[in-house]
Structure 1
């Protein structure tokens, strides 16, 4: 309780927000430092109170609203939702708007390039320089063997690899961007189909011998396939901006003590 008492009283339009409520709200606002978490919690409760006060002023009552899972909202939450629905206007993202966004951000709407990955892992910790050096030497020896006899890859993988993929002859299946560590991915996606990388590849797992299998280049997704998702994204972004502006207006008209709202769009809009 001592930590709570160190903070100033938080007052909204002459009404104090219970310090115990702020302390309970802190768990919903993880932050690097306790003071930052407390301030975020206090801002969230201040904004919530501003909305409830406005709902009182406009005589907005609970209308039995439900959340995304179909569960009935608590009365105060339902009143806030009803207030925002009534007072915050969000423009519809029509086809013209969504097509413009699609054209301006076409690189976002591509299927990922997929590459079938084959590898042989010689496990070693980067912190163990001796083991890591030995693993690198084993990988170089294996690469030389594969240069001479490419057909040995499956046999060598099953014999030497420390990865569970050894059971599939070192085949990891199709890999897309972000599915493996950067060092491995950078090499794999730079290889042409069927090409063996001629240098050992070092990662935190050890040292790899990598060969690229079948490659499927990413394709531009048609507008019709992503139109609905674009509209949802734009309308959600528009709604957040509109709510942030609405909260800023309410905050500017209120008497708030004990906490600086700063970006009034933060705690509640999130």
Structure 2
């Protein structure tokens, strides 16, 4: 292997002389860590590889099944759900609605995620500037958003909690964050610059009615944390060269 080439356990993440951004290198490293773990645990067939191969659809599906087995969904208990409902009642109010607009920077196959996040941060900084004109948000949404709402200046209209992905609903319906918009948040779709235009508060939902929604939200949060810890453990066990990864030496905890 050539000097200066990033690698995971001796498998190169780039070709000699290839210039790759740190963010792209990290993405390649995570992917190769998962591929090697799938080979080690029998989910993928072993193959001689000096260069990290591009994953095919069937290989990605096998890795997804591996993660489902090794990082199972945790169901929060009733005490945990009740405590969360007590501390975050606004997330489960009946009749709550928010008028939202956003700019979506979509994460698609092959995209450089770190570069995309950096671009979103640059646009957020521009829109947060005190001298930014009010119409600038809509202009940037029409220019940059990967959501069909971009044609309407990013306007999503009035939304109820059930209309949103849980990770977005947690932001949209947190009244304490109203003064922080526009704000950059991440979801399964990519990076969003969101702004709350107007709120219509609802009435509290009793815990007995909200129990399933609370459990679903907490379960999704726990799984994201567990997946992050899982891959950090893989990094801690591997020989990593030429790329900085967050690693851990502890076992998986959900």
Normalised to the residue count of structure 1, the TM-score between the two structures is 0.44
| Structure having the higher Rg | 1
Higher fraction of helix = 1
Normalised to the residue count of structure 2, the TM-score between the two structures is 0.46
